[in-house]
């Protein structure tokens, strides 16, 4: 096959064609082939994302120049000109990170009158981490996805993590984290919002700017004037903006929401309120999943008020004394009706009404496995409430069931006493689509689903004690009780055979428990010539007698818990035609390595052939 060439010219004069050397096309193909091979085998690598250091004096210039994958590391100090993120986009494989120091002097952004402190507009795939946001008592929000008056925009795929928002409490309308344009795929994690007018207000009051499929986890919102969090109702989603499609979830888990007695200037509000999804189209079958949260104290309203499609499980809810409201209050709201309501395995204490459902859900509802201490534990505004296997009693009798029932932060303990808060196994079929339906408030397995309330154990609480602090652990954050101690390898039974007079070694490995393992085999059972290293679990040596040797290996952890496994080792003789060693021999080993050098050599061979 020949490849045609365009004649070359020099100052208008045709130059004779050179046939001895490869064509430009061939040379280009060869070099492209070489470069591809280098990239394929990791010999050459593309340019990496940049890590850029910034200070209060130069961060704005450096912020504007960020590219996907870049990290802007802000020095500790005070930033007086806000953080404005406008038109900045990472991508799904290369997020842009803006972060302050994880320890030491924080990067603190101070409020500026008339402007929100951290402003988000038309941006995506951004991480904001380790910032302190001080609104200075001004009428400005802490972090806000800005609204628009003419050109629609969105803010999506955002991570706000380990940020502290202070002094955003000029009035009840001032918000710690606020969204006023279509937002989706946000994660708000590990943040603390203290003394705000409203902790988080996600969505617009008219339902037109939805907050879609977020994960709000591990945050603490303390002492707001109004809501700790409200997620607004949603009208049918706008089109043409690239919003998600189909069905999904908005998850609130492992948060701490605590109100105080201070007055609410714009009206009393529950600690948490979520309202309904669109009535049709994308998102109409979405669910709220609310689990693993500690929600405490509301003198004039409910702890949770919810509407739409809901799963509320494994929360601890304390102190809602107003008889007009409840620990969990389920009702129609802002034109949205109840559709799916599942409430299970919650602990409710000291609420004038424990769990109250006002209207009948249109699709499905069930209440089971809850532990409620209240004078009016479970009530509804309709007949035929689907409730089974709940455990209820008065506030005065709560001490019969749990370790230290109390409204006092730092001393309350709702972990069940030995032998308490169990019953018939719950039927969990309706909940298997819920995230972590099988894990309790601590993140521990519910086992056979026989416990009532938010905890699956009894005795001493192995996990986080409810307090005015960030929650540690919980469903989705890892178990607080380690897996049971076991000998994980090798499997019990017959071990690989040994040979008399030939070196032999096998390693026993434990998992679970508290660590600090030690191993033991009764010395009388060990084949002669072998010995066990009790620290490493290695049984090794040179057998000096043939035979079949059954023995038991026992592992003990630092809590003195133990587990055992039975094994059998056969020691035989070495046949005359057997060989020892691990093999390998001389020469090449089939099937190992890769002939990458051939790929690099091919262009050279091809070029030499063309010259010939």
Give per-residue pLDDT as tens, 477-508: 855 555 678 888 899 999 999 999 999 999 99
Each domain of the chain, given as residue ranges in start order, spans 68-431, 486-572
Cβ atoms of 559 and 513 closer than 8 Å:
yes
Amino acid 506: pLDDT: 95
Higher pLDDT, 105 or 28: 105
Question: pLDDT (tens digit, 9 = 90+) per residue, 187-213?
Answer: 999 999 999 999 999 999 999 999 999
Amino acid 109: pLDDT: 98
Cβ atoms of 404 and 378 closer than 8 Å:
no
How long a stretch of residues is the chain? 612
Amino acid 49: pLDDT: 85
Write the DSSP symbol of residue 33.
Answer: H
Cβ atoms of 549 and 529 closer than 8 Å:
no
Strand intervals (E) in 55-150: 71-74, 77-79, 83-86, 96-99, 107-110, 118-121, 123-129, 131-134, 143-145
Neighbours of 428 (CB within 10 A): 16
Grouping H, G, I as helix, E, B as strand and the rest as coil, residue 430 is helix
Average pLDDT, the chain: 88
Q: How far is CA 297 from CA 34, 126, 165, 350, 466, in A?
A: 68, 35, 21, 9, 13
Q: Which two tokens stand for residue 335?
A: 């034109």
Q: pLDDT band at residue 1, thresholds of 50, 70 and 90?
A: very low
Q: Which two tokens stand for residue 135?
A: 């609104």
Pairing verdict, β 486-489 and 509-511 = antiparallel
Residue with tokens 């020949």: 2
Nearest to 477 by CA among 231, 222, 230, 291: 291
Nearest to 246 by CA among 184, 310, 202: 184
Tell me the mean pLDDT in the region 426-433.
96
Q: Is pLDDT at 559 greater than 80 in this prediction?
A: no
Question: Measured at the alpha carbon of residue 313, what is the angle toward residues 395 and 420, in degrees to the nearest 5?
Answer: 45
Q: Is pLDDT at 513 greater than 60 in this prediction?
A: yes
Q: Which two tokens stand for residue 256?
A: 């701490």
Q: Is pLDDT at 595 greater than 70 in this prediction?
A: no
User: CA 134 to CA 194: how far, in whole Å?
Assistant: 10
Give percent of the chain with pLDDT exceeding 90: 78
Q: Is pLDDT at 543 greater than 60 in this prediction?
A: yes
Q: How far is CA 494 from CA 105, 363, 522, 523, 534, in A?
A: 59, 55, 18, 19, 21
Nearest to 131 by CA among 155, 154, 95, 159: 159
User: CA 110 to CA 285: how far, in whole Å?
Assistant: 41
Amino acid 11: pLDDT: 34
Amino acid 587: pLDDT: 36
Nearest to 337 by CA among 367, 359, 311: 359
Sheet with 530-532, edge to edge strand ranges: 504-507, 538-541, 530-532
Cβ atoms of 209 and 197 closer than 8 Å:
no
Cβ atoms of 157 and 125 closer than 8 Å:
yes
Cβ atoms of 539 and 463 closer than 8 Å:
no
Neighbours of 435 (CB within 10 A): 18
CA atoms within 13 Å, Cβ hemisphere of 247: 9
Helix (H) or strand (E) holding 35: helix 24-40
Helix (H) or strand (E) holding 64: helix 59-64
Classify residue 221 by burial, with Cβ atoms within 10 Å: 0-12, 13-18, 19+: buried
CATH class of 486-572: mainly beta
User: CA 483 to CA 445: how far, in whole Å?
Assistant: 10
Q: Which two tokens stand for residue 543?
A: 């057998």
Neighbours of 350 (CB within 10 A): 21
Neighbours of 573 (CB within 10 A): 11
Amino acid 575: pLDDT: 66
Residues 6+ apart with CB under 8 A from 605: none
Pairing verdict, β 13-14 and 9-10 = antiparallel
Query: Roughly how many angstroms between the first and final C-alpha of the chain, as a whole number?
Result: 16
User: CA 171 to CA 551: how far, in whole Å?
Assistant: 73
Amino acid 450: pLDDT: 97
User: CA 452 to CA 431: how far, in whole Å?
Assistant: 16
Residues 6+ apart with CB under 8 A from 52: 62, 66, 70, 71, 72, 73
As a 3-state breakdown, the chain gives helix, strand, coil percent values, each rounded to 5, of: 10, 35, 55
Pairing verdict, β 413-416 and 364-368 = unpaired
Pairing verdict, β 175-179 and 198-202 = parallel
Amino acid 576: pLDDT: 52
Sign of the torsion angle spanned by Cα atoms 459, 464, 469, 471: negative
Question: pLDDT (tens digit, 9 = 90+) per residue, 301-339?
Answer: 999 999 999 999 999 999 999 999 999 999 999 999 999
Classify residue 149 by burial, with Cβ atoms within 10 Å: 0-12, 13-18, 19+: exposed
Rg from Cα positions in the chain = 33
Q: Is pLDDT at 417 greater than 80 in this prediction?
A: yes
Q: Is pLDDT at 455 greater than 80 in this prediction?
A: yes
Grouping H, G, I as helix, E, B as strand and the rest as coil, residue 596 is helix
Q: Which two tokens stand for residue 377?
A: 């534990």
Q: Quickly name the fold that domain 68-431 has.
A: Pectate Lyase C-like (2.160.20)
Nearest to 408 by CA among 295, 256, 261, 296: 296
Amino acid 33: pLDDT: 47
Question: pLDDT (tens digit, 9 = 90+) per residue, 49-94?
Answer: 899 999 999 999 999 999 999 999 999 999 999 999 999 999 999 9
Amino acid 357: pLDDT: 96
Write the DSSP symbol of residue 29.
Answer: H
Q: Is pLDDT at 18 greater than 60 in this prediction?
A: no
Cβ atoms of 124 and 90 closer than 8 Å:
yes
Buried b (16+ CB within 10 A) or exposed e, 107-127: bbbbbeeeebbbbbbbbbbbb
Q: Which two tokens stand for residue 454?
A: 């938010």
């Amino acid at each position: 096959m020949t490849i045609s060439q365009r004649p070359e010219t020099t100052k208008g004069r045709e130059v004779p064609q050179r046939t001895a050397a490869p064509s430009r096309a061939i040379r280009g193909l060869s070099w492209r082939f070489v470069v591809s091979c280098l990239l394929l085998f990791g010999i050459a690598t593309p340019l990496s994302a940049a890590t850029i250091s910034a200070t209060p004096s130069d961060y704005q210039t450096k912020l504007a120049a960020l590219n996907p994958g870049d990290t802007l590391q802000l020095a500790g100090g005070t930033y007086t000109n806000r953080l404005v993120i406008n038109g900045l986009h990472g991508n799904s494989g290369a997020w842009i990170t803006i972060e302050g120091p994880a320890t030491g002097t924080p990067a603190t952004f101070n409020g500026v009158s008339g402007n929100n402190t951290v402003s988000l507009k038309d941006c995506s795939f951004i991480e904001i981490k380790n910032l302190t946001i001080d609104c200075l008592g001004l009428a400005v929000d802490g972090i806000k996805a800005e609204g628009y008056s003419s050109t629609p925009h969105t803010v999506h795929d955002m991570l706000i993590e380990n940020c502290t928002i202070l002094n955003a409490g000029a009035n009840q309308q001032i918000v710690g984290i606020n969204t006023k344009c279509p937002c989706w795929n946000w994660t708000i994690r590990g943040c603390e919002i203290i003394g705000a007018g409203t902790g988080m207000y996600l969505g617009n009051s008219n339902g037109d700017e939805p907050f879609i499929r977020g994960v709000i986890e591990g945050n603490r919102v303390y002492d707001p004037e109004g809501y700790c969090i409200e997620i607004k109702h949603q009208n049918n989603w706008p089109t043409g903006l690239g919003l998600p499609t189909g069905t999904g979830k908005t998850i609130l888990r492992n948060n701490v929401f605590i109100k105080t007695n201070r007055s609410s200037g714009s009206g009393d509000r529950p600690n948490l309120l979520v309202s309904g999804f669109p009535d049709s189209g994308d998102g109409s079958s979405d669910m709220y999943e609310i689990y693993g949260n500690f929600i405490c104290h509301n003198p004039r309203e409910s702890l949770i008020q919810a509407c739409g499609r809901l799963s509320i499980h494994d929360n601890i809810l304390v102190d809602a004394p107003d008889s007009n409201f409840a620990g969990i209050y389920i009702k129609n709201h802002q034109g949205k009706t109840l559709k799916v309501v599942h409430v299970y395995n919650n602990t409710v204490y000291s609420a004038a009404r424990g769990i109250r459902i006002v209207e009948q859900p249109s699709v499905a509802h069930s209440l089971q496995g809850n532990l409620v201490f209240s004078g009016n534990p479970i009530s509804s505004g309709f007949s035929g409430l689907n409730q089974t296997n709940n455990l209820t009693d008065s506030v005065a009798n709560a001490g019969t069931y749990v370790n230290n029932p109390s409204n006092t932060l730092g001393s309350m303990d709702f972990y069940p006493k030995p032998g308490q808060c169990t019953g018939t196994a719950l039927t969990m079929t309706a909940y298997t689509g819920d995230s972590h339906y099988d894990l309790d408030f601590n993140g521990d397995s519910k086992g056979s689903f026989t416990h009532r309330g938010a905890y699956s154990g009894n005795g001493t609480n192995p996990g986080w004690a409810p307090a005015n602090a960030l929650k540690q652990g919980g469903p989705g954050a890892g178990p607080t009780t380690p897996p049971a101690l076991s000998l994980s390898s090798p499997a019990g039974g017959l071990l690989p055979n040994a040979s008399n007079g030939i070196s032999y070694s096998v390693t026993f490995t434990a998992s679970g428990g508290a660590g600090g393992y030690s191993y033991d085999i009764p010395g009388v059972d060990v084949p002669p010539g072998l010995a066990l290293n009790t620290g490493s679990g290695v049984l090794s040596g040179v057998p000096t007698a043939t035979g079949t040797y059954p023995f038991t290996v026992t592992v003990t952890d630092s809590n003195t818990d133990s587990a055992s496994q039975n094994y059998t080792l056969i020691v035989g003789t070495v046949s005359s035609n057997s060989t020892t060693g691990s093999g390998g021999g001389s020469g090449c080993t089939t099937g190992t390595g890769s002939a990458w050098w051939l790929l690099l050599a091919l262009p050279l061979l091809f070029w030499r052939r063309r010259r010939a």
